[in-house]
Structure formats: structure tokens, C-alpha cells
Structure 1
Amino acid sequence: MFSTSFTGNDLLFLLRGAWVTLELTVASMLIGTLAGVLLGWLRASLPRATLPLGWFLDVFRSVPLLIQFVLFNALKSIAGLNWSAFSIGCLVLGVYAAAFCTEIIRSGILAVPPSLRRASRSLGLSYWQDLRYVVLPLAARVAFPGWLNLALGVMKDTALVMWIGIIELLRASQTIVTRIQEPLLVLCIAGAIYYLMSWVVARLGARLEKRWQEND
């Protein structure tokens, strides 16, 4: 007969960790998206002038995220900043998301046909009106699938914040495993929670994308 030491309180502890995971994901994607839209527009509009910016962002795309967490956490201590581990986690994940989101937005903007932009300008739209009413709406539809995949990836990457002391879903599951010594059960439950969160985000994204297509 199957018996386990896993209790309802353990499940609540995992769910609290899952909530921290969601908070980290939302905060970092908000930072990454806002920065990515601005930097992506700059990279698409001024490719040569912003070439050093592209090299700088390549660093964050290339260096493993775990190393970035450790370095940022060490710099916080060296600089004497009284920032919480959660703030460091949001900052690192936000910069990491911004590095990828910049290229996603840049590609979306460059995917808008130049002839369409010339037509909008010939109709009397200013540069900013063309950007707001023509370019960004079309670029958003092109970039959205990549942005959604980035959000799902960042959600899984939040597991690395355990190395700077944040108790998110994976850290919570490891704490329970240490106590009850049932890794298979606990990690299966944690994996199911990750899957459920990712499934909800993916379904909401697919519904939004379908609505965009229906409005074409």
C-alpha cells in the first residue's frame, strides 16, 4: 500500500513557491519587454550607430544565467547596495529577458514591408504616427510568438534564483525532499505545477494570437 509523508502543508509550501515563480516571471518580463521595445526600435532604426549596444546585449545572451546571478549578487555586496535577493532576481532576469526581447522586437519591426511604410508616409502620417499606428501593431503580431516563448523560458529559468537564496518552486521542492526524503514524488508534483503554469500561459497566448488573426 502506498504511503507518503507528503502533507497538505507541503503542497501549500510548493504553491507559495510557485507564486514567487510567477511574480519573478511577471516582473522580469515587464522589465525585459519595456526595455526590449525601446532597444529593439533603436537597433532597427539605427543599426550601425547601435552596433556597440548589440555587442553589449550579446554578453547577456551568451553568458550562462547562473553566472550572471552570482556576479550581480557579488556586485551588490561590493557596492554596498541594500537590495533584496528578490530585487536582484528580477533585475538579472529582466536584463536577460531584455537582451532577447530586443532582437525579437527588432526582427518584428524589420519584418514590416518598407513599401507599407512609404505608403503610410505618403498619406500624410508623421514618422511617429507611422510607428504607432502601422509599424508597432504589425511588428507586435510578428514578434508575439517569439515573445511568448521567451516568457515560458524565463519562467523555467526562475529556478536558478535558488542560488541567491530565493525560495521559489524548485527551492521549495528541494526543501521538502530534504525533510521527507521522497524526491520522486515531490519533484513530480513540482514538475506538474510547472507544466500547469506553462500550459495556462501558452493557452492564453494562443487565444490572443487567434483573436489577432480573426481581426485581420
Structure 2
Amino acid sequence: MFTTSLTLNDLLFLLDGAWVTLQLTAWSILLGSLAGLLFGLLRALLPRASLPLAWVLDVFRSVPLLIQFVLFNALKSIVGLNLSAFAVGCIVLGVYAAAYFTEIVRGGVLAVPLSTRRASRSLGLSYLQDLRYIVLPIATRVAFPGWLNLVLGVMKDTALVMWIGIVELLRASQTIVTRIQEPLLVLCIAGLIYYVMSLVVARLGARLERRWQEND
């Protein structure tokens, strides 16, 4: 007969951790999307002038995220920044997401055919109008699948914030495992919660893409 020491309070504790995971994901993606949009446009429209920016972003894409967490957390203490662990997690994840989203935006902008841009200019649109009404709408649809994959990736990467003291879903599950010594059950439940959260995000993204296709 199957028996377990897992209680309702343990399940609620896991859900609290999942809520922290969602908050980290939301704030990180917001920061990463805004910065990545700006950086991506700079990389696409001013490639030579933004070359130093590309080198900096390459560093954040190349260095493992866990090392970035540890280094930034140590730097915060050395400099004396009064930031909470949650803020540190959002900043590091946000910069990490921005480094990847920059290339997603850049690819989306460069995917707009040059002939399309020339046609818009021949119709009398200014450079900014061409960017707003032609380039950005097309680039958004091209970049959206990559952005959605980035959201799902960041959601899973939030598990690394446990190393700076944040109790998110994985840390909550480890705490419960330490107490009741049932790792298989607890981690399966945690994995199921991750799956449900990712599934909801993926389904919402697919629904939005279908709406775009229907409006074409």
C-alpha cells in the first residue's frame, strides 16, 4: 500500500515556490524584452556602431548563468548595493535574457526583405514610419517563436536562484525532500508543476500566433 509523509502544507509550500518562479520569470522577461528590443534594433540598424555592445552581450551569453549569479551576488556585497536576493535574481536573469533576445530581435529585423523596405520608402513613408509600420510588425511575428522559447528557458533557469537564497519551486521541493526523504515523489510533483506552467505559456503563445495568422 502506498503511503507518504507529504502533507497539504507541503503542497502549498510547493505552490508558493511556483509563484516565486512565475514572478521571477515575469520580471526577468520584462527587463530582458525591453533591453533586448533596444539592443536588437541597435544591432540591426547600426551594426558597426553597436559592435562593442555585441562583444559585451557575447560575454553574458557565453558565461554560465550560475557563475553570473555568484559573481553578481559577490559584487553586490563588495560594492555595498542594498539589493534583495529577489532583485539580484531578476537583474541577472533579465540581463541574460536580454543578451539572447537581442539576437532574436536582430534576426527578426534582418528577416524583413530589403525590397519591402524599398517599396515602403517609394510610397513616401519616412524612415521612422517604415520602421514602425513595416519593419516592426513583420519582425515581431518572425521573432515571436524565439521569444516564446526564451520565456520557457528562463522559467526553467529560475531554478538556479536557489544558490543565492531564494526559495523558488526547486528549492522548496529540496526543502521538503530533506524533511520527508521522498525525493522521487516530491520531484515528480515539482516537475509536473513546471510542466503545467510551461504548457500554459506555450498554449497562450500558440493561440496568439493563430490569431495573427487569421488576421492575415
CA drift of 1:215 comes to: 1.0
> Take 1:40 and 1:215, find their aligned partners in 2: how far apart are those partners?
26
Structure 2 counterparts to residues 67-146 of structure 1, below 5 A: 67-146=67-146
Instruction: State the partner residue of 2:176.
Output: 176
Q: CA deviation at 1:191?
A: 0.2
Query: Which letter maps to 1:68?
Result: Q
Q: Quote the RMSD (CA, aligned, Å).
A: 0.5
- The answer to whether 1:215 aligns with 2:211 is no
The within-5 A match list for 1:175-214 is 175-214=175-214
User: TM-score if structure 1 supplies the norm length?
Assistant: 0.99
Deviations 1:78-109 (A, max 9, x none): 01011000000000000000000000000000
Question: 1: CA distance between counterparts of 2:21 and 2:133?
Answer: 35
In 2, the alpha carbon distance for the partners of 1:25 and 1:88 equals 13
The two structures have a TM-score, normalised by structure 2, of: 0.99
C-alpha separation between the residues in 1 aligned to 2:75 and 2:204? 38
Of all paired residues, the percent bearing the same amino acid is 82
Aligned pairs for 1:158-177 (under 5 A) are 158-177=158-177
Gapped regions of structure 2 (runs ≥ 5): none
Q: Which runs of 5+ in 1 are unaligned?
A: none
Moved more, 205-214 or 160-169: 205-214
One-letter code aligned to 2:191: G
Offset of 1:123 from its aligned partner? 1.2
Q: How does 1:20-31 map to 2 (within 5 A)?
A: 20-31=20-31
**What is the rounded CA distance, in whole Å, between the counterparts of 1:127 and 1:19 in structure 2?**
43
Q: CA–CA distance in 2 between the matches of 1:129 and 1:46?
A: 18
SS, match of residue 159 in structure 1: helix
Would you identify which runs of 4 or more consecutive aligned residues in structure 1 move more than 4 Å?
A: none
AA aligned opposite 2:4: T
Q: 1:174 Cα deviation (Å)?
A: 0.2
Instruction: Measure how far apart 1:63 and its partner are.
Output: 0.2
Residue identity in the other structure for 2:120 = S
1:155 paired residue number? 155
CA distance in 2, matches of 1:75, 1:175: 28
Q: How many pairs are equivalent?
A: 216
